[in-house]
Amino acid sequence: MSEMVETQVLFRVDDELLSALDRIVTERGFKTRNEWFRAQIREAIEAEARRRGAMAVLDRLTVAGIQDEDIVRMVKEWRSRKRRR
């Protein structure tokens, strides 16, 4: 198992923005800004992974030469056959 290496991230914000952040952190049940920040980063990475996964699926479904109209026609035909059953 690999050892976790931590890197410090610093950024500057004005007092008003920091106060707003502190209210949000508390309202969302986080104990510290650091805990909140890590959760936000984790959420962003997971969302990106889901988006990339969905795009990979869509890329596999792409068929050259088929237009949107063709897909609509195929779906209508499929629904029509399904209703007749």
Q: What is the pTM of this model?
A: 0.58
DSSP for 17-73 reads HHHHHHHHHHHTT-SSHHHHHHHHHHHHHHHHHHHHHHHHHHHHH--TT--HHHHHH
Q: Is 30 in contact with 36 (CB distance < 8 Å)? A: yes
What pLDDT, in 10s, does the model give residues 5-60?
Answer: 989 989 899 999 999 999 999 999 999 999 999 999 999 999 999 999 998 888 87
The domains of the chain are located at 15-84
Which residue type is seen at 1? Answer: M
Position 85 confidence tier, pLDDT thresholds 50, 70, 90: confident
Name residues whose C-beta falls within 8 Å of residue 13's C-beta, 6 or more positions apart in sequence.
21
Name residues whose C-beta falls within 8 Å of residue 9's C-beta, 6 or more positions apart in sequence.
37
- Read off the tokens for 71: 């897909």
